[in-house]
Amino acid sequence: MRLAALAVATTLIAACTDTPGNAQNTPQSPHTTTTLPFTVTEVAKFTSPWAMTFLPDGRMLVTEKAGELLLVSADGKTSRTIATLPVDSAGQGGLHDVVLVPGFAQNRQVYLSYSVAGDGGKGIVLVRGTLTGDAGAEQLTGVTELFRATPFVEGNGHYSGRIAIAPDGQHLFFTNGERQKFDPAQDPKATLGKVLRLTLDGKPAGDPGLTARGFHPAIWSYGHRNLLGIAFDQAGNLWEQEMGPKGGDEVNLVLPGRNYGYPIVSDGDHYDGRPIPDHATRPEFEKPKVVWNPVISPGGLIVYSGDMFPEWKGDLFIGGLSSQALVRVDVTGTDAKKGDQWPMGTRIREVEQGPDGALWLLEDGQRGAGGKLMKLTRK
């Protein structure tokens, strides 16, 4: 058995020790408190989990970095490996996102993303598979590659690979990181550093205006860095978060055909200390809605729509890795500002909403974190 149930409510979690934002983002400083407005229950333990999603019956699919897809009971007490994918898990690589295909109740299909090695180096791929077998004995079968990032390049970082289903149910959005190569984010022929729009079968369906200008036909927006969360709100707006360089983590409202400026502009700087001009210096680029400096190192993103915390409906929730926090972004229409930042005492890789409106968190399995699954309910 891959997982041990814990089923014990935690005591107060240790406070985060990161410093508050600097002067350039003080007007949007989050409300940080050690008094948590929810009860945290540790449910289970995994090995370096990366993403999760709920099935209609309340069970969960959880991905692990090394390539295992787990089917987990609704109470978290049992799990089984239902597929082992051929991932390249070096560095930031591995088995990444998992999302249900529209019509899952009938077709039993899921999308997955993971990093692989190939001609030219490494890259992220999008695949689709089918859950087959009787309840309790399912396996993922018929795994077929639908799309792969281009070009493959050397290195083990900034794969991204997040997936979101469009409100029309006819398209999916897929994030490709710039692979720590900077310039590909502005290259019209590369999918790196981009938000892509595809058909449900993985065919390019990008912004027509960009395609007419000679861009890769899957590109929807460009000038991004390491896009680790993407989600639609109830109004159909597409929200995305990405890790900035040394400073400058972002939440963006993704609009078709727009250039978000990286690496030409950023509200952070290069790790070697070289400055990057701020967004404000180049108004032709789409600027972020929210910026963190110092960073939160965002992991995962949802738009909350549940009834357990009605005061947060429509807001964004983001996991914090280096910040060891759960972060709320207050959304009003197409505007956003920093909300709460709750210290969780560990690296949060993924945020998901449960069927009853509870918040579920996956603890990262790297840098001393242990890979816990946690459920947050109203106090």
Please tell me the distance from the alpha carbon of residue 54 to that of residue 67, in angstroms, as a whole number.
19
Whose CA is closest to 172, among 242, 253, 93, 230?
230
C-beta neighbour count of 26 within 10 angstroms? 9
Residue 68 forms part of a structural domain: no
pLDDT at 32: 55
Q: What stretches of 85-237 show up as alpha helix (H) in DSSP?
A: 104-107, 208-212
Residue 211 forms part of a structural domain: yes
Residue 180 forms part of a structural domain: yes
CA angle 13–19–24, rounded 5-degree value: 135
Q: pLDDT (tens digit, 9 = 90+) per residue, 154-174?
A: 999 999 999 999 999 999 999
User: Which domain CATH number covers 327?
Assistant: 2.120.10.30
pLDDT at 28: 46
**Residue tagged active-site, from 31, 96, 158, 270:** 158
Tokens encoding 184: 């590909």
pLDDT at 2: 38
Q: Is the pTM of this model over 0.85?
A: yes
Residue 293 forms part of a structural domain: yes
6: left (phi over 0), alpha (psi -120 to 50) or beta: alpha
Residue 105 forms part of a structural domain: no
Which residues of the chain fall below pLDDT 70?
1-34
Per-residue b or e along 224-249, where b marks 16 or more CB atoms closer than 10 Å to that residue's CB: bbbbbbbbbbeeebbbbbbbbbbbbb
pLDDT at 33: 56
Residue 212: give the domain boundaries. 8-50+153-378
Number of domains in the chain: 1
158 catalytically annotated? yes
pLDDT at 30: 53
Name the one residue in this structure whose structure tokens are 């972002």: 250
Please tell me the distance from the alpha carbon of residue 178 to that of residue 245, in angstroms, as a whole number.
12
In Å, what is the CA distance from 291 to each residue of 105, 124, 247, 282? 39, 26, 9, 16
Name the one residue in this structure whose structure tokens are 């400026």: 261
